[in-house]
């Protein structure tokens, strides 16, 4: 995936996060809608997204009404209207709004109807499962005191070398 275009932004659909997208690994502006954050029920996925928002990697923005209307019109033309939720429509509308501001948005989605409407609106999209940038979080247990590593299933709560409370982190 290209990372050298200054006009490029990624717009996330919920399926992108469920598909294993890791926003921390991407260094171009990334956006999603507040409704998308609400929709995510999976605890790990939610934590990844909340962390990305906290660190400023992902920003939240709601599309404005004219773009929502335009997307709805388009979904009726393509026959996708009944297959898309209000949240899906807002993702498309957000991308359309960025496009009108001369950004080159790419919607990250595995949803076929979103992809279909995106191409009808001449907005690029990428399927997360095909993008090669999905990652799986791996965890390790370590001692913040002396740096010793422990197996992920360790029974120890404290370091048996220095007595510091053990921590978990993803890598």
Which residues in this chain contact Zn ion in the complex, by CB under 5 A?
143, 145-146, 148, 159, 161-162, 164
**Minimum Å distance from CB 147 to Zn ion?**
7
Alpha carbon 67 to chain centroid, angstroms? 21
DSSP of 97-140, one letter per residue?
A: HHHHTT-EEEEE---HHHHHHHHHTT-EEE-HHHHS-B----EE
**Minimum Å distance from CB 163 to Zn ion?**
7
122: its two tokens: 């001449």
**Minimum Å distance from CB 156 to Zn ion?**
10
Q: Which of 54, 50, 72 is nearest to 63 (CA)?
A: 72
Cβ distance to Zn ion smaller for residue 112 or 156: 156
The span from the CA of 100 to the CA of 18, in Å, is 28
Cβ distance to Zn ion smaller for residue 137 or 146: 146
Cβ distance to Zn ion smaller for residue 20 or 145: 145
**Minimum Å distance from CB 98 to Zn ion?**
48
Cβ distance to Zn ion smaller for residue 69 or 165: 165
């Amino acid at each position: 995936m290209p990372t050298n275009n200054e006009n490029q932004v990624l717009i996330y659909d919920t399926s992108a996060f469920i598909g294993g997208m890791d926003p921390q690994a991407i260094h171009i502006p990334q956006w999603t809608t507040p409704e998308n954050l609400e929709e995510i029920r999976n605890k790990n996925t939610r934590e990844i997204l909340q962390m990305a928002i906290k660190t400023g990697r992902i920003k939240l923005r709601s599309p404005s009404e004219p773009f929502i209307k335009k997307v709805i019109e388009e979904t009726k033309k393509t026959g996708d209207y009944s297959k898309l939720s209000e949240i899906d429509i807002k993702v498309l509308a957000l991308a359309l709004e960025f496009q009108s501001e001369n950004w080159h948005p790419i919607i990250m989605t595995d949803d076929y109807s979103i992809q279909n409407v995106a191409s009808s609106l001449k907005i690029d999209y990428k399927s997360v499962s095909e993008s090669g940038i999905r990652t799986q979080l791996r965890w390790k247990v370590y001692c913040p005191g002396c740096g010793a590593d422990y197996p992920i299933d360790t029974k120890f709560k404290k370091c048996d070398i220095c007595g510091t409370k053990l921590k978990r982190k993803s890598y």
